Amino acid sequence: MQYAIVSYEDNTKLYGTKAVLNVWDPAIEEGAAEMSLAQIWIASGDYETADLNTIEVGWQVLPQMYNDIRPRLFLFWTGNTYRSGCYNVRCSGFIQTSGSIVVGGPIAPVSSLGGIQTELTVFVWKDRKSGNWWLSLGVSIVGYWPAELFTTLADHAAYVQWGGEILNKQPLGRHTTTQMGSGHFPDEGFGRSGYFRNLEYVDYNNRLESVPVQKLGIIVTNPDCYKVKHLFSDDWKTQFYYGGP
């Protein structure tokens, strides 16, 4: 896996996150069984202690699952460092309450270079009374992950991440041609690059707060191929562009 993401933790308990991201249809290396996605991660625990819990929401292009190369809304969860858990509603776990949103369904139209941007507004938050983690897209509540799915996420999240990920199987011994985001570098900016904007977190008092841009951590595993550029503005608040060819 290769990542271009930002992270926020700041030694505080987190109870959710909200962000807006644009949707693209990145090219996938033909025949390589690879994928490309953009998502949020809400997480607690870690690999070393084998107690990593995550909730993941975003869009992905994953031909081996969907038999096409269209970007699709996806969900994922694990309660034990990816030893179990699943995508979408393919196993018991996420409880869908909305009859109008197709989890795993294609997203169309996608953003166009230099043109109209298609966006998802993703909000995941914890109901402190029930312990369940809820998901909304835009103004629509989609459903929830029951509290009993988790251990380290049972009370709160330790950190939140946002960004892009691709699978690089190094076909023919070279770096993949699978793109991340729009397939363009962050410096190209609005209309040409993938972005996340208005990054927020839910604090202990159940309030949405803007993520401090100066406290973002940057994780880029292959900076020659995929990059991140973060900034702040009055309208988009804390934001970043990401991706590459």
Chain segment 33-70, per-residue pLDDT in tens = 999 999 999 999 998 888 999 999 999 999 999 999 99
Give the class (CATH, top level) of 2-243. Answer: mainly beta
Active-site position among 165, 188, 200, 209:
165
- Cα gap 234→53, rounded to integer Å: 34
pLDDT (0 to 100) of residue 174: 86
76 Cβ contact partners less than 8 Å away, ≥ 6 residues apart: 54, 55, 56, 57, 85, 86, 87, 88
Asked if 165 is an active-site residue, the reply is yes
> Would the pLDDT of 194 be above 80?
yes
**Report field, pTM of the whole predicted structure over 0.85:** yes
Q: Is 56 a catalytic residue?
A: yes
Q: Are the C-beta atoms of residues 204 and 13 closer than 8 Å to each other?
A: yes
For residue 132, what are its two tokens?
A: 């369940």
Which of 29, 56, 188, 209 is flagged as catalytic? 56
pLDDT of 129 strictly over 80:
yes
Q: Domain-by-domain residue ranges, the chain?
A: 2-243
